[in-house]
Structure 1
């Protein structure tokens, strides 16, 4: 698997986890979902995502 499918998998998983935490644990976990959304929007404009930097350091191929 290459970097961009892994990145989409991680983003989708994090959104689902944050929504489950919001529903089952506490409603303030919705802010985790907001943070993920803001990061995705930011990366679309700047073309830089912190997770890509992390995945590159792990040796994942582009």
Structure 2
């Protein structure tokens, strides 16, 4: 369940930042880059902040 939530939140952030970049300002693409970098970092280190937060909230695997 946690993996699905993490992927859904990442997808929502990416799609939202793309929409904001298209309609408001291209600077919102920095949010897309940040999310992508965080996904890459978590694939290497196997640590994700949202995963830690979900653990503290009691979300099961």
Indicate the TM-score class for this superposition, using the shorter chain for normalisation.
over 0.9
Unmatched 5+ stretches in structure 2: none
Map residues 1-62 of structure 1 onto 2, 5 A cutoff: 2-62=1-61
Unmatched 5+ stretches in structure 1: none
| Displaced runs of 4 or more, over 4 A | none
Question: Alignment RMSD, CA only?
Answer: 0.6
Q: Distance in 2 between matches of 1:43 and 1:54?
A: 14
TM-score by length of 1: 0.93
Q: Distance in 2 between matches of 1:22 and 1:46?
A: 29
Residues matched between the structures, number: 61
TM-score by length of 2: 0.95
